[in-house]
Amino acid sequence: MPANLTFDDLKTRANSGEIDTVLVCLVDMQGRLMGKRFHVQNFLDSSWKETHCCNYLLATDLEMATPTGYESTSWQSGYGDYVMRADLETLRLMPWLEGTAMVLCDILDHHTHEPVPHSPRQILKTQIARLEALGFGAKMATELEFFLFEKSFDEIRKSGFRDLEPISGYNEDYHILQTTREEHVMRPIRNHLYAAGIPVENTKGEAETGQEELNIRYAEALSCADHHTIAKHAVKEIAWQQGHAASFLPKWHKDKVGSSSHVHMSLWQGDTPVFYDKDGEHSMSEVMRHFCAGMIAYAPEYMFFLAPYVNSYKRFAKGTFAPTRAIWSVDNRTAGFRLCGAGSKGVRMECRIGGSDINPYLAQAALLAAGIKGIEDKMELAAPASGDVYAETSGGEIPQNLRDAVETLRGSDMLRAAMGDKVVDHYVRCGEWEQEEFERVVTDWEIARGFERA
């Protein structure tokens, strides 16, 4: 399902007064939409060719700070511009915003007009090109989990993020009665996204109070990441319009199950599913076995791209459906990698490690890079685990905190070869800064625990 607006369509709708605003957006390191609101006529006259933005947008954090230590930009270099070039294939309606269309941009160097290598969209494009050189294309799908809260973003922020109350009072996993009470939020999410050209399949209650899941049909890898990013943005805006907050924080309460973002993937040649072999064990082809072997073996090295914040690691706990080991199993939700569709042409691998806070471009790129390495080296896939993978005590270790994940990223020869040293170093600095900012903070837990008794 392609983006649903052509350049000529936009001209027609602008002339009729139906569209007066175009959101011209890039995707930042955190997976957010950043950009400008153009009057539609200016966009049609010239800005569709290019516009500009400050290059700090790919060297900042969630707070929009300007950390030191990035080679690509700094106070010393004066924080110059990037070129934002609209990818007109992504031009689409934004039906939940009156008179508005949007387009995603590729980020180019202001002087050379070459792609900026550490731009998330470019990182994924690079891995797609490497895969195509091997004769394959990737189809992927992400699941978006999030929590809805009774109050709005502004009310919650002004309260100091205290006394958070989910929109429901009990576990609503697949629960039709409870999710009916949330249809004033979830119905417009489904319908507006579909009208925006996002191939929504369904929504459902997830396994916690106030937890929702949005499922989007699989697509080619770049489109999948585009769909995810636009959908996540839309969920927040539509929830806000209805007076609620929607949070993609992976673990907002120590006693609550966290939110994930599982990634499903398979390789194709045209319309032929390359992962499928009717005579293979579990219908897995040799290519699939090599790809999955690489993806699983290198999971520790790309962990940062699946869990980029301190909070990301609070989600990994036994008995919560969040994995604790990079081990694969057949249709088993306790494993880090779950084989789905065994015995059918829909056979695929689901990575269950990533949380709801992933940047989908980075996560998908890392998974593809590891899988490509598995194909290139003809890596052998170990036998699947069975039963309760939480009980496993050997193999499949993954970093348990952000500091360790950053260090494994720093030392990853595989990712340095696949993405380039400058890209890896850029995201190592991103992770270092996040850890440094956390370590400056005195938490409520520390005060309550030690104020009197220490």
CATH at residue 76: 3.10.20.70
Q: How many domains does the chain have?
A: 2
Domain match, 282 and 301 both: yes
3-state secondary structure the chain: CCCCCCHHHHHHHHHHCCCCEEEEEEECCCCCEEEEEEEHHHHHHHHCCCEEEEHHHHCCCCCCCCCCCCCCCCCCCCCCEEEEEECHHHCEECCCCCCEEEEEEEEEECCCCCECCCCHHHHHHHHHHHHHHCCCEEEEEEEEEEEEECCCHHHHHHCCCCCCCECCCCECCCCHHHHHCCHHHHHHHHHHHHHCCCCEEEEEECCCECEEEEEECCEEHHHHHHHHHHHHHHHHHHHHHCCCEEECCCCCCCCCCCCECCEEEEEEECCEECCECCCCHHHECHHHHHHHHHHHHCCCCCHHHHCCCCHHHHHCCCCCCCCCCCCEEECCCCCCEEEECCCCCCCEEEECCCECCCCHHHHHHHHHHHHHHHHHCCCCCCCCECCCHHHCCCCCCCCCCHHHHHHHHHCCHHHHHHHCHHHHHHHHHHHHHHHHHHHCCCCHHHHHHHCCCC
Distance, in Å, from the CA atom of 296 to the CA atom of 299, rounded to the nearest integer, reads 5
Residue 80 placed within a domain: yes
Residue 356 placed within a domain: yes
Residue 122 placed within a domain: no
Domain match, 107 and 169 both: no
Domain match, 19 and 87 both: yes
Residue 225 has pLDDT above 50, yes or no: yes
Distance, in Å, from the CA atom of 160 to the CA atom of 349, rounded to the nearest integer, reads 40
10 Å CB burial of residue 148 (0-12, 13-18, 19+) is buried
Q: Can you give the pLDDT at residue 2?
A: 62
Q: Can you give the pLDDT at residue 394?
A: 75
10 Å CB burial of residue 403 (0-12, 13-18, 19+) is middle
User: Could you read off the pLDDT of 171-195 as tens digits, one per residue?
Assistant: 989 999 999 999 999 999 999 999 9
Domain match, 151 and 105 both: no
Domain match, 299 and 427 both: yes
At 107, the pLDDT band (50, 70, 90 cuts) reads very high
Residue 451 placed within a domain: no
Boundary of a domain, candidates 53, 87, 116:
116
Q: Are 73 and 80 in contact (CB under 8 A)?
A: yes
User: Could you read off the pLDDT of 363-386 as tens digits, one per residue?
Assistant: 999 999 999 999 999 999 999 888
User: Could you read off the pLDDT of 274-302 as tens digits, one per residue?
Assistant: 999 999 999 999 999 999 999 999 999 99
- Nearest Cα neighbor of 194 from 220, 245, 230, 225 is 230
Domain match, 55 and 187 both: no
Domain at 378, CATH number:
3.30.590.10
Domain match, 58 and 132 both: no
Q: Can you give the pLDDT at residue 335?
A: 84
At 334, the pLDDT band (50, 70, 90 cuts) reads confident
Dihedral sign computed on CA atoms, order 396, 401, 404, 408:
positive
Residue 359 placed within a domain: yes
pTM of the model: 0.96
Residue 1 placed within a domain: no
Boundary of a domain, candidates 58, 91, 116:
116
Q: Can you give the pLDDT at residue 184?
A: 97
Residue 271 has pLDDT above 60, yes or no: yes
**395 or 65, which is more confident?**
65
Q: Which two tokens stand for residue 75?
A: 């106070």
* Mean predicted lDDT score pLDDT of the chain: 94
Domain match, 214 and 154 both: yes
- Quick one: average pLDDT of 416-429? 98
- Quick one: average pLDDT of 219-240? 98
Residue 453 placed within a domain: no
Domain match, 102 and 134 both: no
Q: Are 290 and 374 in contact (CB under 8 A)?
A: yes
Domain match, 216 and 83 both: no
The boundaries of the domain holding residue 423 are: 127-445
Q: Can you give the pLDDT at residue 1?
A: 47
Domain match, 81 and 38 both: yes
Boundary of a domain, candidates 65, 82, 116:
116
Residue 164 placed within a domain: yes
User: Could you read off the pLDDT of 346-364 as tens digits, one per residue?
Assistant: 999 999 999 999 999 999 9
Domain match, 92 and 155 both: no
**389 or 229, which is more confident?**
229
User: Could you read off the pLDDT of 385-406 as tens digits, one per residue?
Assistant: 888 778 777 778 889 999 999 9
In the chain the first and final C-alpha atoms are separated, in Å, by 59
Give the residue carrying structure tokens 């919560």: 320
